[in-house]
A and B are shown apart, each in its own frame.
Chain A
Amino acid sequence: MTAASRGLARRRHASAGASDFLVFRVAGSAHAMRVSVLREIVKSARLTPVPRAPETVIGITSFRGRVVTVLDLARCLGLGPSSRASSDASGGQRARVLMVEVASEIVGFAVDEVLQVRRLGEEHVESAAVALGPEAPAHFLGVARPGDASQSETIVLLDPGALIP
């Protein structure tokens, strides 16, 4: 995947006011994170389950010489357990772990499928407060409606830093 992310990095600074987001599917709907926090997308991670850890933690894995905690993104969002049941991150052919760097720690987020990279400008994004009211959880950055009328899908934009237990 590294080639893909390098491609993304190159495009990142193309226009001001807009950022590249990685769009992925988790618990049946589209979510996205800024590409800039992404370190790598891993296809299958050998996971070691961690007793006593919060239930959002699926396990730990080794990544670039570090011990990385892998979180079930669906559970982090309060959307119930994701499709992956086993300890090996092989919840499905398309399942991936997003290695994300937040607050100088690398954390893995397990998602059901990686969809695409989209450039989202301010014109596409409603802030969390507007979309969900003042009660919106801290990890919701906002909601994007990128397409024209024909493509009415919404993408929930996430702040991974606020998702860490």
Chain B
Amino acid sequence: MEFFIQLLITGIVLGSVYALVALGFVLIYKSTSVINFAQGELLMLGAYICLQFVIELQAHTGLGLYTIFWISFFATLIVCGIIGLLIERAFLRKMIGEPIISIIMLTIGLSSFLRGIIQFFWGTQTKVFPQIFSQKPIMLFGKIPVSEIYLYAIAFSAIFLGIFTLFFKYNRSGIAMRATADDQQAAMSMGISIKRIFALAWCIAAIVAAVGGIVIGNINGINVSLSFYGLKVFPVVILGGLDSIGGAIVGGLIIGILENLCGGYLDPHMPGIKEVAPFIVLVLILMIKPYGLFGTEEIEKV
């Protein structure tokens, strides 16, 4: 039982990171109908930038680790938001209305480009954050040991997912984004600047990806394989529905937990199944319910 709960908790941690990455993905897809294959690279970029901030601040200031981390954290969010804006402006704006394969290929090219840049500056070796969170496990319910960073990870994800859910529900820009997603022409005629919305979508996607990257970087260390999280986002969004923010959260948690349970129980018998299990689920969902749990069904008319 304890083993199961352990797996469940690490699954929730992983799942909440997936949910963050998927949130960015869904956001971009919803408002610009661009399928972003570079989401994993944005996550990796966020992790590296935060690491760089931490290292620089440690070297040049005498602040405590916690303070340094928080400063770096928010600085990273700002930098990544700007990078998201730049990417949208430089590469994506011209692609509006292009065929789907061009857009897929463009984001694939973008992911390769970003990976190249990251490797150029930071190399391929695994880097680790200085120990910011204590290693001593906290006893949950008195008997289940959970390390502190895991709790932070869940809290981070919950906070950001909460903020963005509220943002879409009540904020003016958030409502404008939903309107754009629903019907671009109608939104335009109501005086919403579509270009601004597209830019905002990329900005937010880069920010949430960076949060995911920082969380996962603190748990596992940072290397180029972090970009794989960007591909794991596909099972998540297909399960949850491509254009549903709630679906991204639920899908993320389900896939994260499923992956960990597979890792715990099936891996001894079938090594490596952990990595493909989400994709097998993906194929099954596509066969049974291609629009996912909460996605909008596309109805085609002649």
- A and B are interacting partners: no
